[in-house]
Chain A
Amino acid sequence: MPPKKKNKAQRNGFWVYMQEMIPEYKRQGYQMPNGMADVVKLAHPSWKAMPESEKQEYERQAKELKRSAPNQAGRLDCKGRPLADRVDTGAVMAKRRLEERKRVVAAWPPGIGVVQEKFLLLNIQSLCELPDGMGYMPCEIGVVEYSLQDGITREFHRFIQPGKPPLGYRYLCQSTSDNTHQIPIEGFELAEGNYHRLWLDLCKFASPNGRNFPPLYSQVTHTAMCEWCLSWLAEMAEEYNSFHVYELDGLVQDLYDHATEGPPPSMSMVASILNTSVFDYEDGSSCEYHASKEVKYCALGTIKRFCFSISDSMAQVYSLNLTPRHLPERPENKGHYTILPSDAFALDRRPVWDPPSRQRTTSQPRGAAYNPPPSYGRDQWNGVTAASTSEGNFPARDIRLHAQPSHSASSSSVPETQALRKPTTPGFVAQLSGAVVAGLGRGRGRGTLGLTPEQMRSLTATTQPQSVGGLQQRMAGMTVHTQPSGRETSD
């Protein structure tokens, strides 16, 4: 490709505006020895100040110009549309969403007051995604009302009759169903076929007073699908769709941002908070149908899990008082399992193998006393071999204790109970030394996503998972390091 001509002026709306203004500037007596470069300086402030609607007119003119330019004539994209008309839909959408988010956030009460704000979270399960923008086949919808202060307050859940799959897509639907939500394609008795009633119920749930429709939040990867499905539902119900779907990931970012200073956590960070597997298979989170099938792909279950992880991660930011409506209840063992007494099974501890006599071929020369390859004696391995002699010194513990050295050493103010808390959350959080400071105070084994915003930020900064035991820092200088317990060798 030949090199681009760099000095080619861009003929955009601003350029048109400048062309229009040149006579005006000349009349005012400005000298423009550098040509357009000078005009830019002059025209820029007034262009900036111009309202968007007036700019539009110039942009339109610029497009006209582009179309009629001699060597641009008839340039089409691969679908036969003029290149000049091309719009980056993705960017436009992203911009729109960002603005919407800003508008929503602006309406929030400042600071901690946002905990009372109610949000509607939405999830829709579909039988399949039809190709070429033919849409989806929604079969289940779940909405919950959630606020940071009160947790999940109301919930709405229905199965939807998706209709007959179009010819040739039955296999796709069947396999999606089998692999995920296991909702039958046809003849599902729980499915609601009266779309009008379903729609009215949904509207009533979302807006009990019937006037203002609050935003619905869905996972960023599902927003397009949710929007499509809602408009499809509205169409089937012959009603007007007044819902708007927002990105849940953005909401989490905004909530962090609202309470604290500094840059919000990254989207991928938020996504991994939301998609944590810690709350999968939690009692009573899914709908009855899915609970009986032991399937986690439930519309209701999915959003409830989102609520759990939001509560868990926001607990410290907003000093929430966590209730069973925030996090799943894990009552003390009520027949979920029984620990058998250690003498429940009578065990015979005699070794089974007689001194090997018959099986082994007699000619087989037994090696002399263990004469290991010379490396064995010098093996230094985390004290595993040592562990075989010293009781209870299990290497896993060694490693794990190493994993948070700064935690136990530097932050001595951390209460002991917290230090004991187990990292049940995904590896990346656990690996953040010191980050495992849960703010829940709700007993052991609960989620530990309760990071302070500062910790969240440090998380976003360190994308690289840290290696075990601050190994990297120590290894960086390649200093000789010997395991404290590794010097002992086996007998």
Chain B
Amino acid sequence: MSQQPPSGRARGRARGRARGAIEEPPRRPGAGVAPPTAPPPVAAVPPVEAPAPVASGRGRQRGGVTSRPPGAPPTSQMEALSLGEKGAGAAPASQPFGGRRRRGDVVIEEPHTRPAHIQDKKGSTGHPVPLVTNFFRVSSTPSWALYQYNVSFAPEIDYRGVRFSMVKEHLELIGETYAFDGMILFLPKRLEQKETVLFSKRRNDGTDIKITITLTNELPPTSPTCIQLYNILFRKALHEIGMQQIGRNNYNPEMAAYVPQHKLEVWPGFVTSILQYEANVMLMADVSHKILRTDTVLDFLYDLYNKTQHNFHENATKKLVGEIVLTRYNNKTYRIDDIDWEQNPQNKFKMFDDTEMSYVEYYAKQYNKTVRDMDQPLLVSRPKKKIQKGGKPMEGPLYLLPELCTLTGLTDEVRADFHVMKDIAIHTRITPDKRNETLQTFINTLNKNEKVQKDMKGWGLSYDKTLLKLEGRVMPPEKIWQRSGSYNYKPQDADWGREMRGQQLISCVPMQNWLFIFPARNSPQAQDFLQALVRVGPPMGMNINKPIMCEIPDDRTDNYLRTMREQMNDKTQMVVCLLSSQRKDRYDAIKKFCCVDHPVPSQVIVSRTLQKKQMLMSVATKIALQLNCKLGGELWAVEIPLKSMMVVGIDCYHDSATKGQSVGGVIASMNNSLTRWYSRCTFQHTGQELIDGLKVCVQAALKKFYELNSNLPDRVIFFRDGVGDGQLSAVVEHEIPQVLDTFKNLGSDYKPKVAWIVVKKRINTRFFAQAGRGLQNPSPGTVVDTEVTRPEWYDFFLVSQSVRQGTVTPCHYNVVWDTSGLKPDHMQRLTYKLCHLYYNWPGTIRVPAPCQYAHKLAFLVGQSIHKDPSLNLADRLYFL
């Protein structure tokens, strides 16, 4: 919301609460929204200085609350205010009705970032392919409009419920189809008069209440208010067809699939949203699954007890504390913080109105649940501060009955069980064909449900019966260059691991002086690995000498550190440590030593990866490639026609361990073929975007670029990952100006062409390619820049990777700043080319390589090092 011009919300707080002014009743905070452009209606605006005998000064706001006159609801205020909204429908950034953003509502205030010069964001390269996407068009009748009315009551009525029932009394006038939130009434039709006056009787005292319904606005189908309404209606419809909301998504328990052998059930569900897309308002629906365990905590306790009665309480506590449980009666999740063995369901607790009630009674009354086991202990959950809403803060912990709690998530035991995962995957990993089918069934259910249909008809809306079809383009595969020549890969797989064999890498750093540390008991594996390494190296052009081999008696951390400390010297190029087990603190200690205390590239290998003999050669090849990257070598390249360009990747990692710090990784290309990279990282407090740090990083990168190329780049292209849904404006407003400022600092005549692209990985959009009768995943390189893009953005979707299982997820690219002079087509092609350049994978990846590198860097620093890595390493990919 930060980019919003001063809205009525802020004003409502600042002046609206004038005290004691009876004729100017206070506005509900957040209710009054007048678009800044529209002149406020004369009568309605509360005077800036309220004519009330109040002391001025700082005490004003606090006192204002207490002296609000009772029984003065804000209706009359609203009436006039919303008049100002007339025609606001054209401006998509205006506020939704009610002004307040509720959870789960669509975010409408996304900034318009489409650069003015981009008239047509369509590219042209590649051959067109027919695609199907998981969208349904929402169509409305041609002359459709939504009518917004304001409802006021005289004398005022405070209680919302009474207002609802009073409006309901006049159904013959309003009609069956309406939406009313206590103040604003939406109707699909126009009432005869602009102002309708009705009368109702208040039931308790028989007073006549005058209800005035005034037309305030007529909204076109594309107005954001309408879209909000569509979403509300749709959620209602979902409820009608038996979906249950858990978290943000809706699941259908009726269609649950059971996996009885593992006590699991899989609920199919949908992620949905209705938004304005390029040409139409559309419903996006994607399949999602929730895996639930059917056994309750009580079952679990009994199982445990039957297994061993020794130390039962202790064992149970150990196993259960920290688990997340779901209570089916309200579909909420809780973490078990403790188990209270002293209590049982027959114990009484105090309700908020100070009456006492036993747990059994409570659940019978509130949720109609009968509790069978009267001796079960109670689970304790300490509510988070956030949950405590309402007037009174919740006091003390929450008690839950084990019988009514089901465990969620999969235990580590289950996760390790291959069979379980396979059984589950049948239900969750679905092919494009199956996905399409499920979505089709879903929309059919909606369209067949009578109640939903009636409602929809009333509003004059309908959903398309089939998934949206559109046309995408598949970009031609790239030619991969290595020293010994170039080759093509199979366009379907976008994987050149096989083609690479025997090819010389672009540049190699000979490994002449390196350290290899391994525990004595892994000595055979070490030998095998070394053998494999020296054999796979030369064909790729890597010259690998024998290392200084250090055998340590056991794999204690201090042994590794001591060996490194004593055996490393100025000539040491690389340290390879073989670890017998995966242990995070040991890995962290080694990485910290090698990245901060004594900067040298390092490679840690867990012995398990070397266990399979038949895999050893390919493992060794991959490690050899990785070693070469870490030493500063280059593996392969694609043709980049643009000269003197720097590509920058930015990503954030939010450190879970040390709250309050997140790490930003910045990586910049240093040559024209985009094979060499320079990296920096920054630390900032959580919640803070990469504000100051980014400037330092970009400046350093530019200087390095200058040092290496004797000129500064003419073009700088940024790929920014890790931007949340609501943070787009923060990026546009804070990061881009900062970077532009950096360029200014480097010289008044230095004005590079800049593009800033925000990369979004977690999206629900899916594309399917038509293959014969069925559907399959689109091939890598598929671009979509029509229909499902957004009108206010310069954006496109790109499917860059190929997946073997399930449905591929495209990435969304949003060009929020563009002075690069690149045509949309070039932008798309450049993006795709960059997806080829991630050296840890001989194939295309989901995001452009700089984003992935930045992610790797930020992850390493945030997870393990927690400090600025040495700048001596900054010019190579030591973080791979």
| A residues in contact (CB < 8 Å) with B | 1-2, 71, 75, 165, 167-172, 174-175, 179, 186-187, 277-278, 280-283, 294-296, 330, 333, 335-340, 342, 344-345, 347-353, 355-356, 359-360, 364-376, 379-382, 384-385, 387-388, 391-392, 394-397, 399-400, 403, 420, 422-428, 430-431, 445, 464-465, 467-468, 471-472, 475, 478, 480-483, 486, 490
Contacts and interface: CB of A to CB of B under 8 A. Distances in A.
Given A347-B534, A380-B709, A384-B633, A372 B673 contact: yes
B483 A370 contact: yes
A387 B498 contact: no
A366 B487 contact: yes
Considering residues A349, A385, A396, A400, which has the most beta carbons from chain B within 10 angstroms of its beta carbon?
Answer: A396
Interface in B501-521: 501-502, 506-510, 512-513, 517
Contact of B710 (A282, A351, A355, A482): A482
Interface stretch (B206-214, B723-731, B801-809, B867-875): B867-875
6 contacts: A167-B338, A168-B337, A168-B381, A364-B487, A373-B640, A376-B506
A280 B589 contact: yes
Contacts of B706: 475, 478
B871 A468 contact: yes
B335 interface: yes
A170 B501 contact: no
B562 A340 contact: no
Interface string B837-880: 00000000000000000000000000000011111111100000
Interface residues of B, number: 115
B708 A174 contact: no
Given A335-B553, A394-B571, A427-B596, A2 B57 contact: yes
Interface string B552-567: 1100111101110111
Nearest to B570: A397
Nearest to B709: A380
Contacts, number: 280
A475 B512 contact: no
Considering residues B486, B526, B551, B746, which has the most beta carbons from chain A within 10 angstroms of its beta carbon?
Answer: B486
Contact of B563 (A336, A348, A423): A336
B546 A353 contact: no
Contacts of A367: 479, 481, 485-487
Interface string B359-388: 000000000000000000000111000000
A464 B336 CA distance: 46
Nearest to B499: A360
B93 interface: no
Contacts of A375: 640, 643, 671-673
Contact of B535 (A171, A352, A425): A352
B228 interface: no
A296 B513 CA distance: 32
A366 B871 contact: no
Given A169-B337, A427-B869, A294 B710 contact: no
Contacts of B527: 345
A349 B507 contact: no
Contacts of A382: 632, 708, 875
B643 A396 contact: no
Given A337-B550, A397-B570, A349 B517 contact: no
A75 B506 CA distance: 74
Contacts of B501: 353, 356, 359-360
Given A283-B558, A379-B671, A467-B703, 4 more contacts: A330-B565, A352-B535, A424-B565, A445-B565
B676 to A, nearest CB: 6
Contacts of A338: 550-552
A399 B601 CA distance: 13
B479 A359 contact: no
Contacts of B673: 372-373, 375-376, 379
Nearest to A476: B703
Considering residues A360, A365, A381, which has the most beta carbons from chain B within 10 angstroms of its beta carbon?
Answer: A381
B507 A388 contact: yes
B550 A281 contact: no
B154 to A, nearest CB: 35
B639 interface: yes
B467 interface: no
Contacts of B512: 391-392, 394
A474 B322 CA distance: 55
A423 B568 CA distance: 12
Given A281-B557, A475-B707, A347 B539 contact: no
B484 A370 contact: yes
A403 B873 CA distance: 12
B75 interface: no
Interface in B620-666: 632-633, 637, 639-640, 643, 657
Given A167-B340, A373-B481, A340 B551 contact: yes
B617 interface: yes
A403 B485 contact: no
A122 B854 CA distance: 41
A278 B597 contact: yes
Contact of B338 (A170, A351, A475): A170
Contact of B672 (A345, A373, A392, A403): A373
A332 to B, nearest CB: 8
B482 to A, nearest CB: 7
B338 A168 contact: yes
A375 B676 CA distance: 12
A130 to B, nearest CB: 11
Given A337-B563, A345-B531, A396 B872 contact: yes
A348 B359 CA distance: 74
Given A167-B380, A380-B709, A478 B549 contact: no
A344 B549 contact: yes
Given A282-B558, A337-B517, A352-B539, A388 B508 contact: yes
A381 B870 CA distance: 19
Contacts of A175: 322
B469 interface: no
Contacts of B592: 277, 280
Contacts of B539: 351-353
B700 interface: yes
B573 A337 contact: no
A487 to B, nearest CB: 11
B761 interface: no
Given A339-B548, A350-B535, A352-B536, A396 B871 contact: no
Interface string B463-488: 00000000000000001011111111
Contacts of B382: 168-169, 171
A381 B530 contact: no
Given A171-B322, A425-B597, A381 B566 contact: no
Interface string B566-605: 1110110100000000000110010011001111110000
Given A171-B335, A478-B706, A340 B549 contact: yes
B632 A384 contact: yes
A57 B270 CA distance: 71
A335 B566 CA distance: 13
Contacts of A376: 506, 673
Given A2-B56, A375-B673, A342 B546 contact: yes
B397 interface: yes
Nearest to A280: B589
B671 A345 contact: no
B612 interface: no
Contacts of A381: 632, 670-671, 676, 708, 875
B55 interface: yes
Contact of B559 (A170, A336, A348, A370): A336
B637 A369 contact: no
Considering residues A171, A333, A369, A392, which has the most beta carbons from chain B within 10 angstroms of its beta carbon?
Answer: A171
B742 interface: no
Given A2-B57, A342-B546, A427-B868, A277 B597 contact: yes
A125 B488 CA distance: 60
B317 interface: yes
